[in-house]
Amino acid sequence: MASVKCILVTGGAGYIGSHTVIELLDAGYDVVVLDNLVNASMESIKRVEDISGKKIQTYNVDLLDAKALEDVFNKHKFDGVIHFAGLKAVGESCELPLLYYKTNVGGTMNLLEIMEKKNVKNVVFSSSATVYGTPSYLPLDEKHPVGGCTNPYGKTKYFIEEILRDVCKANKEWNVVLLRYFNPVGSHISGKIGEDPQGLPNNLMPFVAQVAVGKRKELKVFGSDYDTPDGTGVRDYIHVVDLAKGHVASLKKIEEKCGCKTYNLGTGRGCSVLDMVKAFETASGKKIPYSLEPRRAGDVASCYGSTDLAEKELGWKAQKDLNTMCTDLWRWQSSNPNGYRV
Ligand code: WQD
């Protein structure tokens, strides 16, 4: 079994990327980070170096700059790539579809072409449960139809999955693991790194945390008339450290020359918006004022995943509970009210 040692992490300065870099280092991998810093800061890398006690070679490079990207591959012999880099705001993708297709799909095409040229044919791709579109059954398993997503962001994830499936079909030397994330929340136990959205948070839990530190006045609950236990949207929230560990487990799968594999990374449990608000209030001791608002366009009532396949084939299962997610998120937010903008 070939050992996969040196890993390039694209988007490694971002929320999930930085948490994954820590787990890779802990697992004994050498890590190189590439990030265009459009949605991240070098401060997160500095803090990852604090936490891990290791220096991290980081390149401020955009995947659309094929020359600069190739230079990075000329400087290192990578055994594999974990590919996070991309834009990820659903609403923004509806306003700027060309930017999303160019950045996410175009950037990935550059990456894969240079990987092929340099004979680096192992990749773990950061996909999303959004590729399932509106669930026709729950919990979602990996056999559920994909491609039903309606927003350009979700379509970029689906298109990139398709490209990778075709690459594996055409060339058996490639090993690909597609990871479909549900809803990542929380932070590293140190409270030094965490989710730091630019501007108004799109996602629920960063918004809740910003209400708790007094940065936002109140939470708007988008929809209270869904066919769910309390009428609010139900999602599968997973601790970002559990998610990061799923990437290390995926590299082990790659070392087995797995071809193309797909796994859900979630907990298998659904929690409503109001469940999350209550859990965060308990963990933080802060009251979260909220108002009930109309549904948000594009939202589904419920979305949560079966994680049996990842457990069986990766030996991976989410370990951290809701209280830990909220406690760790609060530690990050309360000690970094302005995120990385110190
Ligand atoms: C969760 C629930 C909202 C904000 C998105 C992307 C998905 C992935 C995760 C990248 C829903 C409700 C939210 C708020 C609210 N991202 N909500 N008030 O929409 O499940 O998934 O993020 O991969 O691709 O689609 O996550 O956190 O935005 O919403 O009531 O201010 O919280 O309606 O029910 P979502 P979310």
Reported ipTM:
0.97
81 Cα: distance to centroid of ligand 1 (angstroms) = 27
Tokens 């297709």 belong to 101
The set of residues, in sequence order, having a beta carbon less than 8 Å from that of 178 and lying 6+ positions away, is 125, 127, 161, 164, 260, 261, 262, 263
In percent, how much of the chain has pLDDT > 70?
Answer: 99
What is the spatial distance between Cα 244 and Cα 195, in angstroms, rounded to a whole number? 14
pLDDT of residue 238: 98
Q: Write the CA distances from 216 to 194, 245, 316, 340, integer angstroms.
A: 18, 32, 36, 17
Q: By the 8 A CB rule, do 30 and 5 touch?
A: yes
Protein residue whose Cα sits closest to atom 7 of ligand 1: 130
pLDDT tens figures, 245-289: 999 999 999 999 999 999 999 999 999 999 999 999 999 999 999
The residue-averaged pLDDT of 48-61 equals: 98
Distance 149 CA to ligand 1 centre (A): 14
Distance from Cα 215 to the centre of ligand 1, integer Å: 19
Entry pTM: 0.97
Question: Could you list the active site residues?
Answer: 153
Q: Label residue 225 exposed, middle or buried (CB < 10 Å: 0-12, 13-18, 19+).
A: exposed
Query: Is it the case that residue 1 has pLDDT exceeding 50?
Result: no
DSSP β-bridge partners for residue 235: 271, 303
Ligand 1 in contact with 152 (CB < 6 A)? no
Reported confidence tier of residue 2, pLDDT bands at 50, 70, 90:
low
Ligand 1 binding pocket includes 88 (Cβ within 6 Å): yes
Nearest CA to ligand 1 atom 32: 204
Q: Residue 3: is its pLDDT beyond 90?
A: no
- pLDDT for res 4: 59
Q: How far is the CA of 10 from the centre of ligand 1 (A)?
A: 24
From first CA to last CA, the distance across the chain in angstroms is 45
Over 60: is that where the pLDDT of 321 sits?
yes
Q: Where is pLDDT greater, at 100 or 2? A: 100
Work out the average pLDDT over 19-43: 97
* pLDDT per position as a tens digit, 83-95: 999 999 999 999 9
Q: Is 235 in the pocket of ligand 1 (CB under 6 A)?
A: yes
Atom of ligand 1 nearest to the CA of 222: 30
pLDDT band at residue 131 using 50, 70 and 90 as cut-offs? very high
The tokens describing 122, both together, are: 């192992």
Is pLDDT above 90 for 30?
A: yes
**Residues 160-196, buried b or exposed e (16+ Cβ, 10 A)?**
bbebbeebbeeeeebbbbbbbbbbbbbbbeebbbbbb
